[in-house]
Amino acid sequence: MTTTDKIRITMSERRPLSVSKSEWPVIAKADWHDGQIKYQANTERHIRVRQHADGRRIVYGFQEPGNGGQFAGTRNPQAGFLIDAGAPENETVRAIRRVGGILEDDQLADECIANLPAEEI
């Protein structure tokens, strides 16, 4: 594992996590940007769900400036929650909803939930 494989994730209600992208692959994601063209966006929002081989999940999201720039003083929220291995699936969905609420983007949360691996019944 190289240092470029590591990412730092801001968490809610606990200190940040540093994880290996290769050991915690993304299993669901959703992205949004204002404006018609991402390259000109002022603001971008992202929600990610990463899962470790042992079953733990990290649900996190953040808002960041786009290439178009933001107004001075813009605050970009970040949120994240660690889900224990073996937790009921609805814990992941609840964490996505919480992240969406912190980012003030319920539709982005809906999109991320829709991108989770399908449940077999």
Q: What is the CATH number of the domain that holds 99?
A: 3.30.380
Query: How many domains does the chain contain in total?
Result: 1
In a domain, 119, yes or no: no
Q: Which two tokens stand for residue 84?
A: 């224990």
Q: What DSSP element (H or E) covers 65?
A: strand 57-65
pLDDT score of 1:
46
Q: Structural domain of residue 38, as residue ranges?
A: 3-114
pLDDT score of 53:
97
In a domain, 76, yes or no: yes
pLDDT score of 39:
79
Residue 85 in contact with residue 105, Cβ under 8 Å? no
Q: 118, 64, 87: which is closest to 95 by C-alpha? A: 87
Consecutive sets of 10 residues in the chain, 121 residues long: mean pLDDT of each? 81 96 98 86 94 98 87 90 96 98 97 96 91
